[in-house]
Structure 1
């Protein structure tokens, strides 16, 4: 697979880069960010951590606002951030709302027309993007982690639980924990991308349901949630994730309610160091 460098800049000793390529999964041109720590030896390779952004974001928001690069360099983590949806597909209605269509891929593989040709973010994150990293960058084989924010937190937990052999570590900031019962999932994205098969199709991407049914190796998931988040009770519902983990001893959810914080990147920047240390600890031990 051919990738093209769009930009690069030095940051905390390493290099913050953006690439583009023609995606076979999404049938469009896609961009992704990649932070590569400063190599201390020519043969040094890195654990790889995927970051999934939330609604309205592109590959740029996280790299500009979170301040993660300092800690990624310290922890020797290569951090990859895909865009949040296909772009430029010109599907009718794909730019009518901030929470559906462009900028709102929701990390699912759509099954309904006209979305199913392009909106395959689940397969993009689990198949195409890992292959690009393996083929082009100095990574440690098999050592992937995944985390994200809001819509991306939902994506990180659901993808990580469904692919335990690919993603060894999971964390999230303010994730949508039960999208089948959230207005973002129930009333828009799940309904129009996946149809009306709530039990089978929706359940494959619902973090609460996946925690309840998870039967793989033990997982430790770090979740930070601000108490002043405007979406806390109506859209995010972190208590559903914690309750599901209580019922399944294979999944340990450490839910930290952070007093006074909202849904913004100020919140993410405050606790980003903890998340990178969480992933580095698990990936180094894997």
Structure 2
């Protein structure tokens, strides 16, 4: 999936649509994890990155550990290449990260761990726009409530406004 999102999808878009070469990336939950990983590992390719309820420390939580064991076996060093908090602590950088997180999300404390991202970004001087929302969970309704702000954020970074 990493190569598809990084290489094949942009090529398809450029071939079939009147698109700019500048890219931004966003995702929800596991897709938010992917967006953060792609942006952090390829900072020159993405103008901006945002996420809704991303898994930010997958090597430290049950969801991530289960997935990594299945896809990457027990090579825990390889796991860190797909862990945003680890990537930042290793020196990977982006200009800014935008995250929206619902505080009524059942996965927030055990699986998502958004404060870990906020903490490492503060320590490493990466600008963040991390917003916590009372009464919002992990659902489509949460994403649909704030997607317009993410689109505007990316449009601004892409100089499309």
Query: Do they superpose with TM above 0.5?
Result: yes
User: How far does residue 279 in structure 1 lie from its aligned partner after superposition?
Assistant: 0.5
Quick check: 1:139 aligned with 2:15?
no
User: How far does residue 215 in structure 1 lie from its aligned partner after superposition?
Assistant: 4.3
Distance in 2 (alpha carbons) for counterparts of 1:238 and 1:123: 26
Q: Summarize the alignment of residues 85-96 of structure 1 with structure 2, pairs less than 5 Å apart.
A: none
Alignment: residue pair count: 160
Q: Structure 1 length as normaliser, TM-score?
A: 0.54
Contact 1:241 1:253 in 2 (8 A): no
Q: Structure 1 segments of 4 or more deviating over 6 A?
A: none
Equivalence for 1:273: 148
Match of 1:214 among 66, 72, 91: 91
Distance in 1 (alpha carbons) for counterparts of 2:142 and 2:15: 34
Equivalence for 1:197: 75
User: How far does residue 213 in structure 1 lie from its aligned partner after superposition?
Assistant: 2.5
Distance in 1 (alpha carbons) for counterparts of 2:134 and 2:59: 27
Q: Structure 2 length as normaliser, TM-score?
A: 0.94
Match of 1:168 among 44, 47, 62: 47
More strand by share: 1
Q: Unaligned stretches of 5+ in structure 2?
A: none
Structure number with bigger Rg:
1
Distance in 2 (alpha carbons) for counterparts of 1:214 and 1:253: 16
More helix by share: 2
Contact 2:52 2:143 in 1 (8 A): yes
Distance in 1 (alpha carbons) for counterparts of 2:83 and 2:24: 19
SS in 2 for 1:139: coil
CA RMSD of aligned residues (A): 1.3
Match of 2:4 among 118, 124, 131: 124
Q: Summarize the alignment of residues 47-86 of structure 1 with structure 2, pairs less than 5 Å apart.
A: none
